Chains A and B, each alone.
Chain A
Amino acid sequence: NAGVTQTPKFRVLKTGQSMTLLCAQDMNHEYMYWYRQDPGMGLRLIHYSVGEGTTAKGEVPDGYNVSRLKKQNFLLGLESAAPSQTSVYFCASSSAGTTRETQYFGPGTRLLVL
């Protein structure tokens, strides 16, 4: 099992450009999450999905969109990138929404917006 994978690993964008980050998991997990990690702020939830075809807003959803067309994939889109979106983005998945399940994280995508 590869677990949770993310592409790309690193990307540089200019302000106003768009891009899509891909997260894939091969653990048949129902729940998937996108976080951003910024110095001194820990991880903050952007959006999450409780199943194929469903998405929900997290703590900091503005400027991002997501889609979960297939159970194993969770895409994070930036329509018009801003320097404030420079961050490290982590995807995670978990097997159920019960309080007993833990999240498994991908390796991260480092995004720099100039």
Chain B
Amino acid sequence: AQSVSQHNHHVILSEAASLELGCNYSYGGTVNLFWYVQYPGQHLQLLLKYFSGDPLVKGIKGFEAEFIKSKFSFNLRKPSVQWSDTAEYFCAVKWSNFGNEKLTFGTGTRLTIIP
């Protein structure tokens, strides 16, 4: 079965620190990649997505992610985090070979920013 792995379960950073959250997925052909964010008490919102083209994708709120096909990775980055970035972050993948209705989510990474 296809799977998405987020190895960092909880990350704690100070404000202005740089952030990188890992996301790896299992092999399965063509993929579309997403990062969603869930702020405390809110629903999931799309941060950024990759379908094709430039593997470095820029999203909202200063986030970016890089698709590295050879490593099956789509890591999320931000050069300088803010207290308001405290949230849970989910990586998600759609494999076009296996039916394009389904989005498979990673288990999420809880990010806590200390002022």
Contact = CB atoms under 8 A, between A and B. Distances in A.
Interface string A29-70: 001010100001111110010100000101000000000000
Contact of B49 (A44, A90, A102): A102
Interface stretch (B12-20, B66-74, B98-106): B98-106
A99 interface: yes
Given A105-B44, A105-B45, A108-B43, A99 B105 contact: no
B102 to A, nearest CB: 6
A40 B9 contact: yes
Contact of A97 (B42, B51, B101): B101
Interface in A96-112: 97-100, 102-108
A105 B89 CA distance: 14
Given A31-B101, A42-B90, A100 B107 contact: no
A45 B105 CA distance: 9
Contacts of B51: 99-100
A105 B100 contact: no
A102 B46 contact: yes
Given A40-B9, A99-B51, A106 B43 contact: yes
Contacts of A31: 101
Given A31-B101, A40-B9, A50-B101, A99 B94 contact: yes
21 contacts: A31-B101, A40-B9, A40-B107, A42-B4, A42-B107, A42-B108, A43-B44, A43-B105, A45-B102, A48-B101, A99-B32, A99-B94, A99-B96, A100-B51, A102-B34, A102-B46, A102-B49, A105-B43, A106-B43, A107-B43, A108-B43
> Which 5 A-B residue pairings sit nearest by Cβ, starting from the closest?
A42-B107, A42-B105, A105-B44, A43-B105, A105-B43
